[in-house]
């Protein structure tokens, strides 16, 4: 199914563009939403910050994925100004950024945006992104700063139909990582080699890696209950369980898929039970998902995990698409903090991911994927094979 999505003529047309770029109508929607947020907070301009490929507001507004550092000055009704480091990044930014005047930041941090805002007579500035303290302190000498990150997060949590289409691409790319392991993973390969295998197919199509967490442990003598964030030299062996969590992205549009593999043998009784409980938890959670359901109702649907004598390590559900969004949820035995007073809305993207583990934290499985919330239920983005998978 993932292959058929990537062969859809509309998707192929998007992938064939020199750079991924949303439609004029989608960018206009985003600008209107930011304008409304600025007006609510009485901000004359917004300053949107990103650094070291982090800070999704810059790419969301301009199309430019932040490299070393980028600062956007957004003024309702005017062309954006985008300051970019390094100097050799400026030409590419001028090609990719939509309707923005791209300038070199000259290694001056926030000084150039401050000078431009002074020239315009700006008094009150909305901030989006994790602006470093030194830059914030410099700006605060002249301007009244207002934190608009909460407003921005709600804009990103509510997806447009076009964003949903792009996230289908990210999901299909993520599924290619699962397919690669099923077809080509072999005992003797290191976690590093498995990671390279995961990336191979979607990189060739214009995808990038958000995460590819991989965990290997022997099912008869387990010592790892959750995938690790960094790959080691540990080798895949017959009798292992391999747990994975993959996010491939098309620009800033991701998928997320989580699965568990048995290597060269059938799952042990413990691992099969863990997986059965995880699958039941996924079904229980998704049975309540729909627009209007509360975060507490979702947590209440996870009780089968504790009833079976297990718990979790990873968050059991979180928002997705441009960030790790609320509601971020755990279970009764492993909360993810206070349960937020949030109700889901249609077109939110959520990742349901029961990482069911033993209470001694030695054995665990991963299962789940990103889904789209609808008025009456949910829709799956992913087509990766379901169940306890096998590496021959």
d(CA 186, CA 264): 9
Q: Which of 315, 292, 323 is nearest to 150 (CA)?
A: 323
Question: For residue 77, what is the DSSP state?
Answer: T
Top-tier CATH class for 161-391: alpha beta
Per-residue pLDDT tens digits of the chain, which is 392 residues long = 455 799 999 999 999 999 999 999 999 999 999 999 999 999 999 999 999 877 899 999 999 999 999 999 999 999 999 999 999 999 999 999 998 999 999 999 999 999 999 999 999 999 999 999 999 999 999 999 999 999 999 999 999 999 999 999 999 999 999 999 999 999 999 999 999 999 999 999 999 999 999 999 999 999 999 999 999 999 999 999 999 999 999 999 999 999 999 999 999 999 999 999 999 999 999 999 999 999 999 999 999 999 999 999 999 999 999 999 999 999 999 999 999 999 999 999 999 999 999 999 999 999 999 999 999 999 999 999 999 999 98
Q: Which residues pair with 307 in a beta bridge?
A: none
- Identify the pLDDT of residue 3: 55
Which residue in this structure is represented by tokens 């789209």?
372
The model's pTM: 0.96
Domain 11-157 has CATH 2.40.30.110: no
Write down the domain spans for the chain: 11-157, 161-391
Q: Do 74 and 45 contact (CB within 8 A), yes or no?
A: yes
d(CA 122, CA 373): 40
Q: Would you call 11 helix, strand, or coil by DSSP?
A: helix
Q: How many C-beta atoms lie closer than 10 Å to residue 65's C-beta?
A: 22
């Amino acid at each position: 199914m993932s292959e058929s999505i990537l062969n859809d003529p509309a998707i192929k047309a998007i992938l064939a563009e020199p750079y991924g770029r949303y439609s004029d109508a989608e960018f206009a929607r985003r600008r209107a939403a930011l304008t409304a947020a600025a007006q609510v907070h009485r901000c004359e301009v917004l300053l949107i910050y990103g650094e070291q490929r982090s800070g999704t507001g810059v790419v969301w507004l301009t199309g430019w994925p932040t490299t070393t550092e980028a600062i956007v000055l957004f003024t309702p009704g005017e062309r954006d100004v985008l300051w970019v480091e390094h100097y050799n990044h400026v030409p590419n930014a001028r090609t990719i950024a939509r309707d923005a005047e791209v300038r070199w930041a000259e290694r001056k941090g926030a000084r150039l945006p401050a000078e431009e805002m002074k020239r315009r007579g700006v008094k009150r500035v909305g901030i989006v992104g994790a602006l470093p303290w030194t830059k914030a302190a410099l700006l605060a000498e002249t301007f009244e700063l207002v934190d608009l990150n909460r407003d921005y997060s709600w804009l990103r949590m509510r997806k447009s139909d076009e964003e949903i289409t792009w996230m289908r691409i990210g999901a299909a790319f993520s599924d290619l990582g699962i397919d690669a392991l099923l077809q080509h993973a072999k005992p003797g390969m290191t976690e590093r080699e498995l990671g390279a295998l995961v990336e191979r197919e979607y990189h060739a199509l214009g995808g990038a890696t958000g995460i590819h967490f991989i965990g290997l442990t022997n099912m008869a003598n387990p010592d790892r209950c959750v995938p690790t964030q960094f790959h080691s030299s540990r080798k895949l062996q017959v009798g292992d369980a391999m747990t994975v969590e993959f996010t491939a992205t098309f620009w800033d549009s991701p998928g997320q898929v989580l699965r568990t593999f048995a290597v060269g043998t059938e799952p042990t009784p413990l691992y099969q039970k863990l997986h059965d409980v995880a699958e039941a938890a996924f079904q229980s959670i998704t049975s309540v998902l729909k627009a209007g359901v509360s975060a507490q109702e979702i947590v209440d649907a996870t009780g089968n995990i504790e009833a079976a004598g297990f718990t979790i390590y990873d968050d059991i559900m979180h928002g997705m698409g441009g960030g790790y969004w609320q509601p971020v949820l755990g279970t009764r035995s492993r909360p993810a903090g206070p349960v937020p007073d949030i109700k889901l809305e249609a077109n939110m993207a959520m990742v349901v991911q029961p990482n069911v583990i033993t209470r001694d934290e030695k054995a665990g499985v991963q299962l789940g994927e990103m889904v789209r919330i609808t008025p009456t239920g949910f829709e799956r983005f992913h087509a990766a094979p379901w169940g306890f998978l096998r590496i021959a």
